[in-house]
Structure 1
C-alpha cells in the first residue's frame, strides 16, 4: 500500500517545480517592494519628508527635531501597521478559501469582519471604551462567531451549494451583523466611536498596535503553515483528503483559530478593510500554483505591500484630508469580485 506521507501533491509535479523555484525570487522582490513602499509611506503625508531626513532619523535621531518625532511616533508605526494588517487579511482570506473551497471567500465578505464589528459595538455600549486589550478580546470573540457561522453553513451544505450561494449567505450574515451594530450604536449613542471601525482606516495607529500585530501575525502564519500541506490536499476534495489520511476536522479547527486571531486583531485596530483577502490569494495562485505552502507566505508579502500602497493612496487622493483606506481597496476588490462571481469554473 502506498504510504500516505509520501503521497505526491499536485504542486509536487514537474510542471509546478518551476513555480516553486521562482517562489524564492518572488519573495525577495516582494520584500524589496515592501521596503520601498514603507519608505514612501513614511515620507508622504500632510508634511512631506525628504528621504535623507528619514535615513538621518534612523541613524542619528534628534529628540528635539519635529520631523524626527513625526517619523518615529506616527509615520513608522502607521506604515508597519499597514503592512502587518495587509498580511493578516491576505493570509486569513487564503485560509478561508482553502477551508470552504470557495474562491469568493474573504473575511470582509462572508461575515467574519462584521462579526468583529458587532462585538466591538456591544463592547462600546455595555463596557465602554476602556482598555484596548478588552476591545481586542471582544473583537476576537466577534470574529469567532462569524467564522463559526460560515463554517457551520459550509459543513451543512457543502455538497449542495455553489460558491456564489455560500458567498451570498455570508453577505446576508454581514448585513445582519452590520444592522445589529448600527442599531446598538444608535440606541446607546456610541455611533461616533463605532464609525471609525465602519470606515476602516489606519490613522491614529501607535507602536502598541505594532507590538500586538507582530506576534499575532507570527502565530497565525505559523498555524496556517502547519496545515498548509493539508489545505493543498483538501483542495482536491474532502473524500480524497480523507482517503490520503488527512484529518479534516483538525485542519478546520487549526485554520479557524488562525483566521480568528488574524481577523480579530486586524479589525480591532483598523476596522473593516475589505477585499485584500479576496484578491491576493488568486493573484498569487496564478504565479505559484495551488500549493498552500507557497500561497500562504507569498500572500502575506503581497497583502502587506498592497495595503501599504493603498494607505499611501488614501492619503494622497484628497490631501490634507484622508480617504478611508477601505474605499481604496474596494476600488480594486469590487471589480475583481464581480469577475470571479461570473466564472462558472470550479474552485482551483
Structure 2
C-alpha cells in the first residue's frame, strides 16, 4: 500500500494540472467542454502535463545515475557542467545551423553535453582526496566557465535574448507539435532501469566492478551517454531545471537506500511529483501571469540543496 501512495499522488496531481490555468476548465464539465476549452485542454494542458511528468522523471534519474558514476551524492547534470555544455552546443547550433530543425539542435547539444561530462569526469579524477563537497563545487565552477563562454559569444553574435528565452525552464510555451521530442527520453529511462544493477556496482568503484567481472569502462560510458541524451533533450524542449537532479535522488536514497534497482522508479516518480507541484505553483502564485518553473524549482531546490550540503559536511 505504501508503494502505491506516490503513484496515486502523481495521478491526482497530473489531473489537477490539467484544470489549472488562465483559461478556466471546470473539472465537472470535462465531458461537455466548449470548443475553446477543448482546444486548450488537448493543445496545451495535456502536452504540458505529459512534459512535466517525463522531464521530472528524466532529470531526477539522470542525477541518480551521475551520482553513482561519480560516487558523489551532490553531483547532477546541473552541478557537473552537463547542462552548461549542452547550452554551448545550442549556441554552436544557432551559429552554424541557424535554420536547423530542433532535432539537429538536440544532436549538437548532445555531443557537447557528452564531451563536457567526460571532461568533468576527468577533472574530478585528478582531485586530491575527492572531498564530497569539493566535487560539486568544481562542477559548478566548470559549468560557470562554460556558461560565461556561452554568454560572451551570445552577446558577440546578438543571440543572448534568443538563448535566454529558449533555455529558460518554462512549460508555458509547451503545446502540441513542439514538445514531442521529449518522448525520446522514455526509452532512455527504460534502458536506465535495465542497467540499474550495473550502475549500482559501478558506484562501488572501479576495482570492485572489475573484481566481480564487470566491464567498468563500458558501463561508465553507457551511463554518460544516457545522461547526455536525457539532459540535451530536456534542455532543448523545456530549458534548465536547476537542482532537481540533486535533491530528488538524495531524498529518495535517505528513505530507500542506495540500490538503484530499488530507488530508480521512486526517484522517477518523486521527480515528476516535485516538478508538477512546482509548475502548479508557477501558475497560481501570480495569476493571470506565470512564473518560470525554473524559478520555483531553483528556489525550493537551492533550499533543500543547502540542507543536504550541511548534512553531508557533518558526516
Query: Is the pair's TM-score, using the shorter chain for normalization, greater than 0.5?
Result: yes
Of 148-157 and 110-119, the range deviating more from structure 2: 148-157
Aligned CA distance change for structure 1 residues 332 and 125 (closer, same or farther; 3 Å): same
Contact 2:200 2:260 in 1 (8 A): yes
Offset of residue 230 of structure 1? 2.2
Contact 1:98 1:231 in 2 (8 A): yes
Of 337-346 and 165-174, the range deviating more from structure 2: 337-346
Query: Once superposed, what is the RMSD of the aligned Cα atoms?
Result: 2.0
In structure 2, the partner of 1:295 is 263
User: After the TM superposition, which residues 62-211 of structure 1 pair with which residues of structure 2 at under 5 Å, given as runs?
Assistant: 65-128=35-98, 130-157=100-127, 160-211=129-180
Matched residues in 1 for 2:50 and 2:31: separation?
Answer: 16
Q: Deviations over 1:170-228 (max 9, x none)?
A: 111111121111112111111221112443111211334553222x2332123222321
Contact 1:275 1:329 in 2 (8 A): yes
Of 231-240 and 43-52, the range deviating more from structure 2: 231-240
Offset of residue 252 of structure 1? 0.4
Matched residues in 2 for 1:234 and 1:133: separation?
Answer: 31
Select the residue among 18, 27, 36 that pairs with 1:51. Answer: 27
Offset of residue 140 of structure 1? 1.2
Q: Deviations over 1:28-63 (max 9, x none)?
A: 322222221112111111122111233556xxxx6x
Q: TM-score, normalised by structure 1?
A: 0.84
Contact 1:85 1:304 in 2 (8 A): yes
Select the residue among 268, 280, 283 that pairs with 1:315. Answer: 283
Contact 2:57 2:272 in 1 (8 A): yes
Quick check: 1:30 aligned with 2:6?
Answer: yes
Flag structure 1 segments of 5+ consecutive residues without an equivalent.
1-21
Q: Deviations over 1:91-117 (max 9, x none)?
A: 100000000011101111111111111
Matched residues in 1 for 2:224 and 2:307: separation?
Answer: 27
Aligned CA distance change for structure 1 residues 144 and 219 (closer, same or farther; 3 Å): same
Q: Deviations over 1:270-325 (max 9, x none)?
A: 11111111111111112221110121121111111111111111111111221111
Flag structure 2 segments of 5+ consecutive residues without an equivalent.
none
